[in-house]
């Protein structure tokens, strides 16, 4: 079966088809941490003195993001804080919230749990019972972004770190390209910066790590993670694209890496050609930044009679 | 020969003959190794690992759709 390519340990936990490497637990953990730190350095994600808010669901991606960024706290480079969003999905969200709380406490990181109910007066389970709703993921994405942006300002955070991984990034690139959403395509990137100071810069430290390796890292490190699928997950275009990429990866193991690398090369040209500098003002209802009279969250809330 | 298979809270005893790998078991159960990590007797193993009499095999799903 072979032994670790780096140290010769016979207990291998991964064989990387893309590189031909076989790695034992310790060398695998080290390789992930090294890669993430390389991404952080290459993309200039962190500056000394940054206060980084981690959007912490308790799932593998956010827990690993928190864990690796915490090594910068230990070296007194940054401060961390975390927010967990309780969408109000009975029987699903509770465990993730508890896991997130435990990680924040273990690492001594300031943490708050914010619910849809307290923020908007309605939770996701209630929204899904309304007639003519737009689908769970539409509300979830918009409402979560609203809460995260606000939490970042409340914490005084200078950056927001999310757990987006290589699979997420390549799915987004392919989806937007296939659907012809070129403005959305141009907005994908390692850092999400707005010309408005009302938005905090978002960074994606795990964007070059495949999703499976993030799960493997969490298990190899013995990190408690929320392992469950959202009950509202449904067949979506993203899922179809994800399946295509997973199928392709079997015989072409470097396909996601090359998709991201190629995209990163054309991204500056795309941005120059396609990205608009929206004029932001404040949403009339909630005061959050918006390019329209109402922000998307408030548009949805008005539709829901809230 | 037999081994214990654990998937979430479900535990079952399974019989086998000859050399069986984790990959053989995943294929037989029509499960994807792209979304799972396997532990054998509590340690993470790769798909080529062979199953031996008395082993406890655990499949942990780490990627969910959605």
Contacts of A167 (CB under 8 A, 6+ apart): A210, A211, A242, A245, A256
User: Which residue's entry shows tokens 């273990």?
Assistant: A106
pLDDT band for position A235 (cuts 50, 70, 90) = confident
The two three-digit tokens of residue A155, written as one number: 């914490």
Among the listed residues A174, A206, A220, A202, the one whose alpha carbon sits nearest the alpha carbon of residue A29: A220
The two three-digit tokens of residue A146, written as one number: 């609203």
The two three-digit tokens of residue B30, written as one number: 């029509």
Contacts of B44 in chain A (CB under 8 A): 13, 25, 216, 219-220
Q: Which phi and psi (to 5°) does residue A87 adopt? A: -75, -20
Q: Say yes or no: B65 contacts chain A, CB-CB below 8 A.
A: yes
Q: A234 CA to chain B: closest CA distance, Å?
A: 6
Q: A262 CA to chain B: closest CA distance, Å?
A: 24
Q: Say yes or no: A165 contacts chain B, CB-CB below 8 A.
A: no
Report the complex ipTM: 0.95
Closest residue in chain B to residue A26, using alpha carbons only: B44
Q: A37 CA to chain B: closest CA distance, Å?
A: 23
pLDDT tens digits along B29-53 = 999 888 999 999 999 999 999 999 9
- Judged against a pLDDT cut of 70, whether residue A1 lies above it is answered with no
Predicted pLDDT at A141:
94
Domains and CATH numbers, chain B: 2-61 (3.10.20.30)
Predicted pLDDT at A279:
76
Contacts of A23 in chain B (CB under 8 A): none
Mean pLDDT of chain A: 95
pLDDT tens digits along A93-113 = 999 999 999 999 999 999 999
Q: At what angle do helices A166-179 and A255-274 cross, to 10 degrees?
A: 50
Contact in structure between A190 and A234 (CB atoms under 8 Å): no
Q: Say yes or no: A233 contacts chain B, CB-CB below 8 A.
A: yes
pLDDT band for position A277 (cuts 50, 70, 90) = low
End-to-end CA distance of chain B: 39
Tell me the helices (H) and strands (E) count for chain B, helix number first.
1, 5
Contacts of A215 in chain B (CB under 8 A): 37, 60, 62-63
DSSP state of A184: H
Across the interface, whether the CB atoms of B66 and A242 are under 8 A apart is answered: no
End-to-end CA distance of chain A: 60
- What percentage of chain A reaches a pLDDT higher than 90? 89
Cα(A171)–Cα(A178) distance, integer angstroms: 10
> Within a 10 A sphere around the Cβ of B37, how many other Cβ atoms?
22
């Amino acid at each position: 079966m072979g032994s670790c390519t780096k140290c010769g340990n016979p207990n291998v936990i991964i064989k990387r088809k893309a590189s031909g490497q076989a790695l034992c637990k310790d060398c695998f953990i080290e390789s992930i941490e090294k890669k993430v730190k390389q991404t952080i350095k290459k993309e200039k994600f962190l500056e000394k003195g940054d206060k980084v808010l981690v959007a912490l669901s308790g799932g593998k991606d956010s827990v690993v993001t928190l864990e690796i960024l915490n090594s910068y706290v230990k070296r007194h480079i940054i401060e961390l804080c975390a927010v967990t969003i309780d969408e109000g999905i009975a029987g699903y969200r509770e465990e993730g919230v508890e896991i997130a709380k435990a990680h924040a406490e273990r690492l001594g990181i300031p943490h708050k749990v914010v619910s849809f109910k307290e923020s908007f007066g309605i939770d996701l389970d209630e929204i899904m019972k309304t007639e003519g709703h737009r689908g769970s993921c539409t509300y979830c994405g918009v409402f979560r972004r609203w809460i995260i942006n606000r939490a970042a300002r409340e914490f005084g955070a200078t950056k927001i770190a999310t757990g987006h991984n290589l699979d997420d990034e390549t799915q987004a690139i392919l989806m937007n390209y296939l659907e012809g959403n070129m403005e959305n395509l141009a907005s994908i990137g390692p850092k999400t910066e707005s010309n408005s100071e009302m938005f905090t810069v978002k960074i994606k430290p795990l964007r070059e790590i495949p999703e499976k390796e993030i799960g493997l890292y969490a298990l190899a490190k013995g990190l408690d993670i929320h392992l469950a699928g959202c009950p509202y997950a449904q067949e979506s275009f993203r899922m179809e694209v994800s399946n295509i990429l997973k199928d392709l990866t079997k015989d072409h193991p470097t396909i996601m890496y090359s998709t991201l690398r190629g995209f990163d090369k054309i991204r500056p040209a795309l941005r120059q050609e396609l990205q608009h500098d929206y004029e932001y003002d404040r949403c009339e209802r909630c005061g959050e930044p918006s390019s329209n009279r109402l922000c998307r969250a408030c548009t949805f809330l008005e539709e829901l009679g809230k | 020969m037999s081994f214990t298979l654990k998937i979430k809270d479900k535990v079952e005893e399974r019989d086998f003959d000859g050399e069986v790998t984790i990959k053989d078991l995943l294929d037989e159960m029509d499960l994807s190794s792209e979304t799972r990590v396997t532990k054998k007797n509590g340690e993470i193993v790769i798909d080529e690992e062979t199953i031996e009499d008395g082993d406890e095999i655990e499949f942990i799903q780490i990627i969910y759709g959605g």
